[in-house]
């Protein structure tokens, strides 16, 4: 029988490889230390939709976690608890569960009072949300409401402030490098430009690191608007130097062109955190490279292989780092729980595991330091000053 209390775990936002190893690490250690562990299903949605009735079927909202359950899932990608982009403090009326629609009638509703009651109903003493800055910003809200929160950062963009590393980033970089190299055969066979759009709304880490590792000739990141004429000129030069006559550029989905401040979106619909779905900058760049290439290629047009990597870099099993780091993050979370040191975000800084106040999540954005890491006149990384830098070069200074 558990004697120390009940720990709740949830995963929110986009899925990434490494979530299940983190859930496993928390659960195994917690059970051995004498805690009960409850998995909240579908992110924050599970704590919104719960019906506070012992006879109600709440199987879609939570589940008891055991060693057998997490051991089976711990080797796999995604999240077996499932996830959502639900934001309880800004819930549209259409998403309010049926049993609460007569109480919450506004167009946008703050469901935090229900979340707090549901946590009490489940008997949860400590909540461990695993997510990016959106998911964890609501974790901070609950901390301010008096909930004992210990947060774990995950996002393949690696853009959660306060930590150098977020779960999912290594697998994303690994897959991006692998797929870029695989697509070189197509670009080389046809002597084309290869344009690959990758994740990265505000931060360009997922484009910059693979380029630094040799996956691409150039990269375009959200932190610096790019000149399409300059890119075309550089890509033609790269293609001419390459024995197989092709060149590669990686583009963050949030990158923008000079004299055009808006990001490229798939539509006008926004999620509960106010974000439109990004996508399309790769298509725009591909077309303009094709149109402008004759100007820099003696009047001859260069065709383009254009691919959006998208979910291909976030699916499947975690790589080595996204199996090891979540294990460490989960065990540090339990250390903090046992110390009753709440309101913390697990972090990795300059190669060392640590924790920081959860408030850092909403304090600032984590972006590529252009002066240190990006050549704006060459649209590529700076290949120097690596001495005493962390494994992934760029830090989460705060």
**Neighbour count for residue 153 (Cβ, 10 Å):** 30
Within-domain flag for 388: no
pLDDT of residue 1: 54
pLDDT in tens, 30-40: 999 999 999 99
Helix pair 321-339, 169-190: axis angle to 10 deg: 160
pLDDT of residue 261 exceeding 80: no
| Averaged pLDDT of the chain | 93
The residues, ordered by sequence, that sit 6+ positions from 183 with a Cβ below 8 Å of its Cβ are 194, 196, 305, 307
As a whole number, mean pLDDT of residues 205-211 equals: 96
Say whether both 68 and 162 belong to one domain.
yes
- With contact defined as beta carbons under 8 Å apart, do 163 and 153 qualify? yes
Within-domain flag for 320: yes
pLDDT in tens, 270-306: 667 666 666 689 999 999 999 999 999 999 999 999 9
pLDDT in tens, 79-135: 999 999 999 999 999 999 999 999 999 999 999 999 999 999 999 999 999 999 999
Say whether both 122 and 196 belong to one domain.
no
- With contact defined as beta carbons under 8 Å apart, do 344 and 337 qualify? no
Say whether both 267 and 351 belong to one domain.
no
Please state the domain count of the chain.
2
pLDDT of residue 392: 84
Band (319; pLDDT cuts 50, 70, 90):
very high
Q: What is the CATH number of the domain that holds 308?
A: 3.40.50.460
Q: What is the DSSP letter of 226?
A: B
Say whether both 52 and 107 belong to one domain.
yes
Band (75; pLDDT cuts 50, 70, 90):
confident
Q: What is the CATH number of the domain that holds 130?
A: 3.40.50.450
Within-domain flag for 1: no
pLDDT in tens, 343-362: 999 999 988 999 999 999 99
Within-domain flag for 24: yes
pLDDT of residue 363: 86
**Neighbour count for residue 2 (Cβ, 10 Å):** 13
pLDDT of residue 374: 96
As a whole number, mean pLDDT of residues 51-58 equals: 96
Say whether both 13 and 127 belong to one domain.
yes
The boundaries of the domain holding residue 91 are 6-167+316-363
pLDDT of residue 377: 96
pLDDT of residue 385 exceeding 90: no
Say whether both 78 and 89 belong to one domain.
yes
Helix pair 281-296, 228-241: axis angle to 10 deg: 70
As a whole number, mean pLDDT of residues 53-64 equals: 96
Say whether both 233 and 375 belong to one domain.
yes
Band (64; pLDDT cuts 50, 70, 90):
very high
pLDDT of residue 273: 67
Whole-number Å distance between alpha carbons of 221 and 223: 6
Within-domain flag for 241: yes
pLDDT of residue 264: 63
Say whether both 16 and 78 belong to one domain.
yes
Q: CA 205: distance to chain centroid?
A: 11
Whole-number Å distance between alpha carbons of 67 and 361: 31
Distances (CA, A) of 184 to 83, 113, 122, 215, 300: 34, 53, 52, 9, 21
Within-domain flag for 398: no
Residue % of the chain over a pLDDT of 70: 94
Say whether both 131 and 28 belong to one domain.
yes
- With contact defined as beta carbons under 8 Å apart, do 126 and 7 qualify? yes
The residues, ordered by sequence, that sit 6+ positions from 255 with a Cβ below 8 Å of its Cβ are 200, 204, 207, 220, 221, 222, 225, 226, 263, 281
pLDDT of residue 249: 98
Say whether both 45 and 182 belong to one domain.
no
pLDDT of residue 266: 63
Within-domain flag for 391: no
Say whether both 25 and 63 belong to one domain.
yes
Per DSSP, helices labelled H in the chain are 19-33, 45-49, 67-73, 112-122, 133-144, 169-190, 205-212, 228-241, 281-296, 321-339, 360-363, 370-373
pLDDT of residue 313: 93
Q: Which residues are catalytic?
A: 157
As a whole number, mean pLDDT of residues 152-172 equals: 95
Within-domain flag for 386: no
pLDDT of residue 49 exceeding 60: yes
Say whether both 182 and 255 belong to one domain.
yes
């Amino acid at each position: 029988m558990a004697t120390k209390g009940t720990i709740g775990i949830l995963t929110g936002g986009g899925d990434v490889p490494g979530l299940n190893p983190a859930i496993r690490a928390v659960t195994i250690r917690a059970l051995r230390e004498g805690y009960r562990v409850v998995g909240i299903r579908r992110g924050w949605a599970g704590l919104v939709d719960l019906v506070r009735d012992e006879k109600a079927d709440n199987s879609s909202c939570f589940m008891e976690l055991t060693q057998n359950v997490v051991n089976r899932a711990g080797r796999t990608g995604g999240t077996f608890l499932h996830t959502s982009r639900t934001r309880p403090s800004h819930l549209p009326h259409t998403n309010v569960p049926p049993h609460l629609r007569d109480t919450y009638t506004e167009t946008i509703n703050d469901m935090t009072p229900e979340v707090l009651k549901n946590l009490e109903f489940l008997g949860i003493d400590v909540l461990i949300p695993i997510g990016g800055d959106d998911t964890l910003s609501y974790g901070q809200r609950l901390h301010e409401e008096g909930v004992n929160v210990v947060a774990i950062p995950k996002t393949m963009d690696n853009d959660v402030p306060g930590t150098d590393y977020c779960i999912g980033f290594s697998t994303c970089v690994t897959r991006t490098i692998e797929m870029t190299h695989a697509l070189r055969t197509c670009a080389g066979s046809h002597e084309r430009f290869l344009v690959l759009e990758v994740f990265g709304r505000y931060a360009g880490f997922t484009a910059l690191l693979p380029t630094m590792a040799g996956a691409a000739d150039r990269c375009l990141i959200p932190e610096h608007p790019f000149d399409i004429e300059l890119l075309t000129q550089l890509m033609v030069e790269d293609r001419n130097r390459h024995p197989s006559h092709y060149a590669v550029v990686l583009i963050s989905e949030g990158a923008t062109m000079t004299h055009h401040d808006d990001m490229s979106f798939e539509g006008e619909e926004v999620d509960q955190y106010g974000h439109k779905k990004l996508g399309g900058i790769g298509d725009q760049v591909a077309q303009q490279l094709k149109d402008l290439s004759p100007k820099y290629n003696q009047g001859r047009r260069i065709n383009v292989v254009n691919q959006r990597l998208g979910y291909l870099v976030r699916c499947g099993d975690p790589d080595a780092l996204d199996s090891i780091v979540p294990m460490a993050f989960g065990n540090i979370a339990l250390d903090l729980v046992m110390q009753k040191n709440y309101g913390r975000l697990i972090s990795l800084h300059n190669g060392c595991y640590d924790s920081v106040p959860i408030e850092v999540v909403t304090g600032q954005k984590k972006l590529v330091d252009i002066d240190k890491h990006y050549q704006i006149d060459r649209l590529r990384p700076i290949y120097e000053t690596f001495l005493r830098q962390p494994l992934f070069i760029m830090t989460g200074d705060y």
